[in-house]
Amino acid sequence: MDPLDVISSIEKVIPYFQPVFSADEHKIIGYEVLGRIIHENGEAVSLGPFFTGNDIPDEYKMEVDENVTSKALDKFISVNQEGLIFINRDARLLMIDHGQSFLELLLDYKDKGLQLNRIVLELSEKTFHGDFEQLLHVLLYYKTYGIKVAIDNVGGNMGELDRLSHFSPDILKVDLSQLRNDAGNKMYKDILFSLSVLARKIGASLLFENIEINYQLQFAWLNGGRYYQGYYLKHPSDSFLKSDVLKDKLKEKCQDYIRYEKKHLEAGYQFADDLHKEITQKLTQIKKQTEDLDILLNELAITFTDKCFRLYMCDENGFQVTSNILKVHGNWVSHQRFKGKNWSWRPYFLENILRMRINKKGLLSDIYSDIDSGEPIRTYSYPFGNGVYLFMDLSYEFLFEEDGLLY
pLDDT at position 291? 87
Residues 6+ apart with CB under 8 A from 235: 18
| Model confidence pLDDT, tens digit, residues 180-237 | 755 456 677 777 887 888 888 889 999 999 999 999 999 999 989 999 999 999 999 9
Using 70 as the pLDDT threshold, list the residues of the chain that sit under it: 1, 127, 155-162, 181-186, 407
| Model confidence pLDDT, tens digit, residues 209-219 | 999 999 999 99
Report the alpha-carbon distance of residue 98 to residue 329 in Å, rounded.
64
pTM value is 0.86
Buried b (16+ CB within 10 A) or exposed e, 48-78: eebbeeeebeeebbbebbebbbeebbebbee
| Separation in Å, CA 378 to CA 44, 227, 400 | 51, 31, 11
pLDDT at position 406? 77
SS3 content of the chain, % helix, strand, coil (to 5): 45, 25, 35
CATH architecture entry for 262-401: 2-Layer Sandwich (3.30)
SS3 state at 368? strand
- Delimit the domains of the chain by residue range: 3-229+246-259, 262-401
Cβ 223 vs Cβ 206: under 8 Å: yes
Question: Dihedral angle at the C-alpha atoms of 46, 50, 54, 58, nearest 10 degrees?
Answer: -140
CATH architecture entry for 3-229+246-259: Alpha-Beta Barrel (3.20)
pLDDT at position 158? 47
